[in-house]
Amino acid sequence: MAWKNQGGGPWGSGPKGPWGSGPQPTGGGPRPPDLEDLLRRAQDRMQQFLPGGYFSGLGIAVALLAVLAIWGLSGLFRVQPDELGVVLRFGKPERTVGPGLRYHLPFPVETVLLPKALRVSTLNIGFSSEATPRRGGREVPRDIPEESLMLTGDENIVDVQFTVLWRIKPKGAADYLFNIQNPEGSVKAVAESAMREVVGHSNIQGILTNDKDKIQLEVQELMQRVLDGYGSGILVQQLQMGNVNPPNQDVIQSFNDVTNAKTELESLQNQAQTYANQVVPGARGRAAQITQAAEGYKQQAVAEAKGQSARFLKVYEEYKKAPNVTRERIYLETMERVLGGSDKLIYDGGPSGQGVVPYLPLSELTKRQGSQGPTPQQGTGGSR
């Protein structure tokens, strides 16, 4: 039905327009556009495009195509860098998509949920950080005793504050959305329960001194097992223990003294171990050297004894063949070995002997001449 501008338009009769203003004068300034005139022109153009009117077959087809185009484009969505897109088909998880511009079938066939699956969340237990106006807006930790006070295995009370870093598993976004109702509350409850269980099996001395790393690892593994049992789709990335103190301030200094003493003891033990590592290998090396020298001497003595025994047996065999000759040869060899390095005088004691016979030690002269070097009268290459 065409718009007919009768009686001042659809807002009633009279010269006033839709905002209560009358007709504008023809002169004296620019005239604002007439809304009714613009609408009428648009209708005329549409009628030219659709000769049969809005309710003709072509008009209905164009309208349906426009609606379908808008409906189809409604499936476009964007996943932010710290998000994962979980596409639901009739309410059931169908697939998980990463960051970027994505598409799903339009509503009501498919919908999408965008959890912050790539962001690491921090959860403090036993304390909270709050911005205080008096401190210039800085975060000031506030103790929460109902969360941090725990009973140890030796029936002591200890104040344990710790922080849990957690995130959604890469393939657990659907479990995170549908298996747990309050993720942060669930992680906090599981963390506090796991810490109480591990602390309940430990002694206060170890908790305050050198068992923190062990306790952190045990609590993290226990939390992960419990959360996996719930099918939560949550990954415990790290657990960090903060302040661990006895609840009574009067005994904190005593425990600190014990901790310092244990630290000093460990330092002295490390120094002693370092000294032992330096001394023991040297002692073992010297012991091995002495053992090897003794073994070598043993083998040498045994070999010499065997050689002398074999030599004696051979001499004895020859002696049995010619006793006189062998006895004479043994005598001469013995005298040569005994008198070979001593000064000698030759005495002729026969009937026609001359007494002491002159003896020229040519071997001694040769040795002395070789030690002194060539004389000046001797040449090095030819005759004088």
How do beta strands 100-103 and 76-79 pair?
antiparallel
Q: Name which residue leads in pLDDT, 90 or 189.
A: 189
Same domain for 285 and 201? no
- How many whole angstroms separate alpha carbon 300 and alpha carbon 294? 10
What pLDDT is recorded for position 175? Answer: 84
What pLDDT is recorded for position 105? Answer: 76
- The reply to whether 301 falls in a domain is yes
Region label for 155, one of left (φ > 0), alpha (ψ between -120 and 50) or beta (otherwise): left
The DSSP code sequence of 285-342 is HHHHHHHHHHHHHHHHHHHHHHHHHHHHHHHHHHHHH-HHHHHHHHHHHHHHHHHTTS
Same domain for 55 and 91? no
Q: Which of 113, 139, 173 marks a domain boundary?
A: 113
Q: Which domain holds residue 302?
A: 255-326
Question: What would the pLDDT profile of 321-340 be if each residue is shown by its tens digit?
Answer: 888 888 888 888 888 888 77
- The reply to whether 10 falls in a domain is no
Same domain for 107 and 178? no
Same domain for 321 and 263? yes
Q: What is the 3-state composition of the chain as percent helix, strand, coil, each rounded to the nearest 5? A: 50, 20, 35
- CATH number of residue 132's parent domain: 3.30.479.30
Q: What percent of the chain clears pLDDT 70, i.e. is strictly above it?
A: 70
- The reply to whether 372 falls in a domain is no
- The partner residues of 102 in beta bridges, in order of sequence, read 77
Same domain for 132 and 238? yes
Q: Name which residue leads in pLDDT, 372 or 211.
A: 211
Same domain for 40 and 57? yes
- How many whole angstroms separate alpha carbon 311 and alpha carbon 161? 88
pTM above 0.85, yes or no: no
Same domain for 143 and 235? yes
Question: What would the pLDDT profile of 98-108 be if each residue is shown by its tens digit?
Answer: 777 877 777 78
Torsion of CA 285, 287, 291, 296, to 10 degrees: 50
Q: Which of 221, 247, 273 marks a domain boundary?
A: 247
Structure tokens that stand for 315 in this block? 């001499």
- How many whole angstroms separate alpha carbon 312 and alpha carbon 370? 38
What pLDDT is recorded for position 369? Answer: 67
Same domain for 69 and 81? no
What pLDDT is recorded for position 320? Answer: 84
Output DSSP code: residue 135.
Answer: G
- Cis-peptide into 25, omega within 30 deg: no
Q: Residue 273 phi/psi, 5° resolution? A: -65, -40
- How many whole angstroms separate alpha carbon 291 and alpha carbon 298? 10
What 3-state DSSP class applies to 140?
A: strand
- The reply to whether 377 falls in a domain is no
Q: Name which residue leads in pLDDT, 224 or 177.
A: 224
Q: How confident is the model over 213-226, as a mean pLDDT?
A: 92
Same domain for 81 and 174? no
- The reply to whether 233 falls in a domain is yes
Pair 80, 99: CB distance under 8 Å: yes
What pLDDT is recorded for position 375? Answer: 52
Q: How confident is the model over 360-380, as a mean pLDDT?
A: 60
Specify the DSSP element, H or E, that contains 45. Answer: helix 35-49
Domain count, the chain: 4
Same domain for 201 and 109? no
How do beta strands 127-131 and 139-143 pair?
antiparallel
Q: How confident is the model over 344-358, as a mean pLDDT?
A: 66
Contacts of 222 (CB under 8 A, 6+ apart): 194, 197, 198
- The reply to whether 298 falls in a domain is yes
The CA-based angle 157-160-164, given to 5 degrees, is 150
Structure tokens that stand for 212 in this block? 């923190």
Pair 103, 75: CB distance under 8 Å: yes
Mean pLDDT of the chain: 76
- Kindly indicate the confidence band of residue 148, based on its pLDDT and cuts at 50, 70 and 90: confident
- The reply to whether 259 falls in a domain is yes
Same domain for 62 and 140? no
Same domain for 125 and 102? no
CA proximity to 242, closest of 128, 324, 332: 128
What pLDDT is recorded for position 6? Answer: 43
What pLDDT is recorded for position 83? Answer: 75
Q: Which of 178, 212, 247 marks a domain boundary?
A: 247
Q: Hey, what amino acid is at 351?
A: P
Q: How confident is the model over 84-101, as a mean pLDDT?
A: 78
- The reply to whether 102 falls in a domain is yes
